[in-house]
């Protein structure tokens, strides 16, 4: 049996909330992701999706439980893990090529090697013609592709994507979804993707994992009925709609549960109400 690419067991993460109280973002999260699997994470706002991704990527430490990537305990960022944030976070004063080459520069690769690699990556995401442009001259979708190329620079075996398509219009997003699937096939990576779109989750992933409201934990897993490779026509298929409805039902069930009240949030709401009266 192959060991999982990602293994989380009983993961807990808390934050200090204003006023000295403790906010439990994640509690008791168990999740295993197989090599080459694509998993979509979906859940209400504040259910800890970004926190979970950061814990897997070694950008945040867990307060409890185990976090392993390819059998190693996660202690910090790992070159085997690529991360794409919700905002592309490109350096505006560097051109596109230099942005993509940044991780290679930090890894001490010589200039000819990193530039050749960055050109290859830009070709992979269909942007080689824009290597000399500043990021500000690109559209939002193009910037996200640059961020994706940068995340692939060190040849990660695991890719963590935090709502990378949320800022794109629907048509661009569909094209991006297809591109991501093509890329996934070419690079054979394990992918964990956060999305708010139930259809996108079913279309892209092998299974969709539903998180509860805070504190986030896994409350349902919905397998995708779609085979590989996937085609754009699968997006509108009855099978996709049925699985998306299953995800929706799981989210609907948890909407009825109450999140633990955040004292700071409550105080702000009360203050707002008093102001209004």
Ligand X SMILES: Nc1ncnc2c1ncn2[C@@H]1O[C@H](COP(=O)(O)OP(=O)(O)OP(=O)(O)O)[C@@H](O)[C@H]1O
Helices (H), 85-169: 96-106, 111-124, 140-151
The helix or strand, by DSSP H or E, that contains position 263, with its residue range, turns out to be helix 263-276
Any contact of residue 93 with ligand X (CB under 6 A)?
A: no
> How many residues sit close enough to ligand X to count as binding (CB under 6 A)?
12
Nearest to 126 by CA among 203, 178, 90: 178
Which of 2, 20, 45, 258 lies at the binding interface for ligand X (CB under 6 A)? 45
Any contact of residue 46 with ligand X (CB under 6 A)?
A: yes
Residue 13 vs 150, nearer CB to ligand X: 13
The helix or strand, by DSSP H or E, that contains position 49, with its residue range, turns out to be helix 49-56
Closest separation in Å from C-beta 166 to ligand X: 9
Site string for Mg ion, 123-162 (x = CB under 5 A): ----------------------------------------
Show the CA angle centred on residue 15, arms to residues 11 and 19, nearest 5°.
150
Any contact of residue 48 with ligand X (CB under 6 A)?
A: yes
In the chain, DSSP finds a helix count (H) and a strand count (E) of 8, 10
* Segment interacting with ligand X (CB under 6 A) among 44-52, 97-105, 133-141, 181-189: 44-52
Which of 7, 27, 51, 184 lies at the binding interface for ligand X (CB under 6 A)? 51
DSSP letters, 145-214, are HHHHHHHTTT--SEEEEESTTTTS-HHHHHHHHHHHHHHHHHHT-EEEEE-S-HHHHHHH-SEEEEEPSS
Q: Which does 51 bind (CB under 5 to 8 A by kind): ligand X, Mg ion, none?
A: ligand X
Residue 224 makes CB contacts below 8 A (sequence gap 6+) with: 202, 203, 205, 206, 207, 208, 243
Which of 47, 50, 99, 224 lies at the binding interface for Mg ion (CB under 5 A)? 50
Residue 23 vs 90, nearer CB to ligand X: 23
Residue 60 vs 149, nearer CB to ligand X: 60
- Compute the distance between CA of residue 175 and CA of residue 162 in angstroms, rounded to an integer: 18
Rg of the chain (C-alpha set): 20
Site string for ligand X, 202-231 (x = CB under 6 A): ------------x-----------------
Closest separation in Å from C-beta 170 to Mg ion: 20
- Compute the distance between CA of residue 128 and CA of residue 122 in angstroms, rounded to an integer: 5
Any contact of residue 195 with ligand X (CB under 6 A)?
A: no
- Compute the distance between CA of residue 98 and CA of residue 44 in angstroms, rounded to an integer: 36
Any contact of residue 263 with ligand X (CB under 6 A)?
A: no
**Can you give the binding site for Mg ion, defined by CB under 5 A?**
49-50
Binding site for ligand X (CB under 6 A): 15, 23, 25, 43, 45-51, 214
């Amino acid at each position: 049996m192959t060991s999982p690419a990602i293994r989380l067991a009983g993961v807990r993460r808390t934050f200090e909330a204003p006023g000295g109280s403790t906010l439990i973002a994640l509690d008791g999260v168990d999740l295993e992701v197989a090599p080459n699997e694509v998993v979509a994470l979906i859940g209400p706002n504040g259910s800890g999706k970004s926190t979970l991704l950061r814990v897997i990527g070694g950008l945040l430490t867990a307060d409890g439980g185990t976090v392993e990537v390819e059998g190693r305990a996660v202690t910090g960022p790992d070159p085997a893990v690529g991360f794409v944030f919700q905002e592309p976070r490109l350096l505006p004063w560097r051109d596109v090529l230099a942005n993509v080459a940044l991780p290679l520069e930090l890894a001490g690769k010589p200039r000819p090697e990193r530039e050749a690699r960055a050109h290859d990556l830009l070709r992979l995401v269909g942007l080689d013609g824009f290597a000399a442009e500043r990021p500000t001259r690109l559209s939002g979708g193009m910037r996200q592709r640059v961020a994706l190329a940068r995340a692939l620079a060190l040849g990660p075996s695991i890719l963590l994507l935090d709502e990378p398509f949320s800022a794109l219009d629907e048509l661009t997003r569909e094209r991006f979804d297809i591109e991501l699937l093509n890329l996934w096939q070419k690079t054979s990576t394990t992918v964990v993707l956060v999305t708010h779109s139930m259809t996108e989750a079913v279309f892209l992933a092998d299974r969709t994992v539903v998180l509860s409201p805070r504190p986030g934990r896994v409350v349902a897993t919905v397998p995708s009925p779609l085979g590989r490779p996937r085609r754009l026509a699968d997006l509108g298929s009855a099978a996709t709609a049925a699985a998306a409805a299953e995800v929706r039902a799981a989210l609907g069930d948890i909407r009825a549960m109450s999140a633990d009240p955040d004292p700071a949030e409550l105080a702000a709401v009360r203050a707002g109400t008093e102001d209004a009266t």
